[in-house]
């Protein structure tokens, strides 16, 4: 696709001729570019926001979602490369944190392009093994019980058979992608990392967030917000203000 706003991977971009950098936002499992809709106008004209639309959601609903990290990274590398002509930053939440981390390494290794900063949110550092068994292949009743526990979908959605028929294949694919991901040790990223989490996220502890420090050769900071795994919604304004503060410092350095 051309850089005319019609790219299916980045459908909600508000172009700015005065932008000095680009912030790419990667969603959690089952999430779409829409979850970053309030980010688009928050940072002013010097920062272009690129919410990432993965296949299987939004206007890409009828595309098959990826269930393998490697094949997703292949596609993302091709899709994003044309937009790296300005300094760029990644933000990823949960599954999106791991995707953005691996994509940062991929672009450094294959394209010689370095992320200016990496924000990782709601996800344990990659070197920490998953403590829970896989859920992507559970029978449907058990998978729905797990979705209730995660609180990522409103209860009324999980009680609607028609909506479930649409979202369960996507969630299974996303869960398979992240639950079959295996971290391969690499050297630390050159960019700074800011790791964030919710104080009441019982699946991702403060120690899990702090462990991201091992993945950077640059500056590291950690920020914990009130809320559970989906604090990025309940504490969105506070999160955006924290991200904006760090971006202001980065803008002074580029």
User: Which residue, 20, 32, 215, 21, is CA-closest to 124?
Assistant: 215
Domain range list for the chain: 21-129+185-253
Whether 27 and 97 have beta carbons less than 8 Å apart is answered as: no
Q: How far is CA 242 from CA 31, 97, 121, 238, 246, in A?
A: 22, 17, 12, 6, 7
Q: What share of the chain is helix, strand, coil (3-state, %, to 5)?
A: 45, 15, 45
**Catalytic one of 67, 94, 100, 121:** 94
Q: How far is CA 209 from CA 99, 109, 127, 178, 240, in A?
A: 16, 25, 11, 17, 18
DSSP state of 165: H
* DSSP SS3 for 129: coil
Sheet containing 117-121: give its strands across. 47-51, 21-26, 88-93, 117-121, 192-198, 220-225
Say what the pLDDT of residue 163 is: 82
Note if 205 is an active site residue. Answer: no
Buried residues in 125-147 as b, exposed as e (16+ CB within 10 A): bbebeeeeeebbebeeeebbeeb
pTM: 0.93
What's the CATH number for 21-129+185-253?
3.40.50.1820
Q: Which residues contact 161 (CB under 8 A, 6 or more apart)?
A: none
DSSP state of 212: G
User: Which residue, 176, 225, 236, 169, is CA-closest to 201?
Assistant: 225
pLDDT values of the chain reduced to their tens digit, one per residue, 254 residues = 434 345 999 998 999 999 999 999 999 999 999 999 999 999 999 999 999 999 999 999 999 999 999 999 999 999 999 999 999 999 999 999 999 999 999 999 999 999 999 999 999 999 998 878 878 888 887 888 888 887 777 777 777 888 888 889 999 999 999 999 999 999 999 999 999 999 999 999 999 999 999 999 999 999 999 999 999 999 999 999 999 999 999 988 87
* DSSP SS3 for 10: coil
């Amino acid at each position: 696709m051309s850089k005319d706003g019609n790219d299916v991977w980045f459908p909600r971009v508000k172009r700015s001729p005065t932008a000095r950098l680009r912030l790419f936002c990667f969603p959690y499992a089952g999430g779409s570019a829409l979850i970053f809709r309030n980010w688009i106008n928050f940072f002013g004209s010097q920062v272009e926001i690129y919410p990432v639309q993965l296949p299987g959601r939004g206007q890409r609903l009828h595309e098959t979602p990826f269930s393998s990290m490697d094949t997703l990274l292949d596609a993302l590398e091709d899709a994003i490369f044309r937009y790296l002509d300005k300094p760029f930053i990644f933000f990823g939440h949960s599954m999106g944190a791991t995707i953005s981390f691996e994509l940062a390494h991929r672009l450094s290794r294959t394209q010689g392009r370095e992320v200016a900063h990496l924000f990782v949110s709601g996800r344990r550092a990659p070197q920490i093994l998953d403590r829970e068994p896989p859920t992507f292949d559970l029978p449907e009743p058990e998978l729905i019980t797990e979705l209730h526990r995660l609180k990522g979908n409103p209860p009324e959605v999980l009680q609607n058979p028609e909506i479930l028929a649409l979202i369960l294949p996507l969630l299974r694919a996303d869960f398979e992608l992240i639950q079959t991901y295996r971290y391969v040790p690499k050297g630390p990223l050159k960019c700074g990392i800011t790791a964030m989490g919710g104080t009441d996220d019982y699946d991702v502890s403060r120690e899990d967030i702090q462990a991201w420090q091992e993945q950077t050769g640059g500056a590291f900071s950690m920020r914990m917000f009130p809320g559970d795994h989906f604090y990025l919604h309940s504490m969105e304004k506070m999160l955006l203000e924290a991200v904006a503060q760090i971006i202001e410092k980065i803008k002074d350095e580029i």
